[in-house]
Amino acid sequence: MTRLIIWRHGNTDWNAEGRVQGQTDVPLNDLGRSQAATAAPLLAGLEPAAIYSSDLRRARHTADALAALTGLPVAEDARLRERHYGLFQGLTNPEIAERFPAEFARWNGGNPDVGAEVERNDEVGKRVGEALREIADRHPGKVVVVATHGGAARQGFGDVLAWPADVMAAIRPLQNCHWTELADTPHRGWQLRAHNVGPWPEKAIPAPV
């Protein structure tokens, strides 16, 4: 049975400020590094065979905390990047609502065509899902950890599971340094085994960006 552990990066200053990061390359802050160091031993206990990461620093440095314990290299894949939020990147929700009211309403309403140069969710799911399937195919029967981003994780595993958009909209986003586990089972294919797993109790859910 192949298992994918899809791990959201640790906290950043933009997470703390409620700013949309998207594909802006924001590094981990002190809290994020601490979160990665706390979560890494739990993931190391799963005995992963490989570690993959988005090439954005907040994901890569999260993956590095696990690599330091396991001795495994980290393979970067740009397809694991967060959703590109276009003109929203760097702004808070109130700033987006003020500057782009129509687009903000479409975003909150789940419209796939947000505008403002925001990447469509189905496009995010397709590129991340493709990466996840290829990674799984390289490591049959193994545990693989994939460090990525909140929105990318959700859309990517939704694509692997072939879940429709309305189901994905009902899934709560990952907390920082929490993960989703998928398993490719012999008779039923890909299944969701766990979601929002991490080393501390669930609290307020930050924006998955």
Q: What is the pLDDT of residue 112?
A: 84
Q: Which of 73, 68, 82 minimizes the C-alpha distance to 6?
A: 82
- Sole residue written with tokens 């802006």: 24
Distance of alpha carbon 79 from alpha carbon 81, whole angstroms = 5
9 a known binding residue? yes
Pairwise CA distance, residues 172 & 198, whole Å: 14
- Under DSSP, is residue 137 helix (H, G, I), strand (E, B) or coil? helix
Is residue 51 within 8 A of residue 75, CB to CB? The reply is yes
**What would the two tokens of residue 206 be?**
């930050």
In eight-state DSSP terms, residue 80 is G
Q: Is 79 annotated as a binding residue?
A: no
**Separation between Cα atoms, residue 61 and residue 66, nearest integer Å:** 9
User: Is 137 assigned to a binding site?
Assistant: no
Q: What percentage of the chain has pLDDT greater than the value 90?
A: 86
Question: Is 37 in contact with 65 (CB distance < 8 Å)?
Answer: yes
Cβ distance 85 to 118 under 8 Å? yes
Does 15 belong to an annotated binding site? Answer: yes
pLDDT in tens, 86-139: 999 999 999 999 999 999 999 998 888 999 999 999 999 999 999 999 999 999
Give me the pLDDT at residue 200, please. Answer: 79
Q: Each residue of 164-196: b (16+ CB within 10 Å) or e?
A: eeeebeebebbbbbbbbbbbbeeeeebeeeebe
What is the tens place of the pLDDT at every residue in 18-57?
999 999 999 999 999 999 999 999 999 999 999 999 999 9
Furthest-apart CA atoms within the chain: distance in Å? 51
Statement: residue 207 has pLDDT above 60: no
The answer to whether 122 is annotated as binding is: no
Active site residues: 9, 82
Mean pLDDT of 164-177: 91
| 107-111, Cβ contacts within 8 angstroms, sequence gap of 24 or more | 110/165, 110/169
Could you tell me the pLDDT band of residue 186, with boundaries at 50, 70 and 90?
Answer: confident
For residue 74, is pLDDT > 70?
Answer: yes
Residue 81 is predicted with a pLDDT of: 98
DSSP tag of 28: B
The domains located in the chain, with CATH, are: 2-84+123-197 (3.40.50.1240), 87-118 (no CATH)
Q: Is 84 annotated as a binding residue?
A: yes
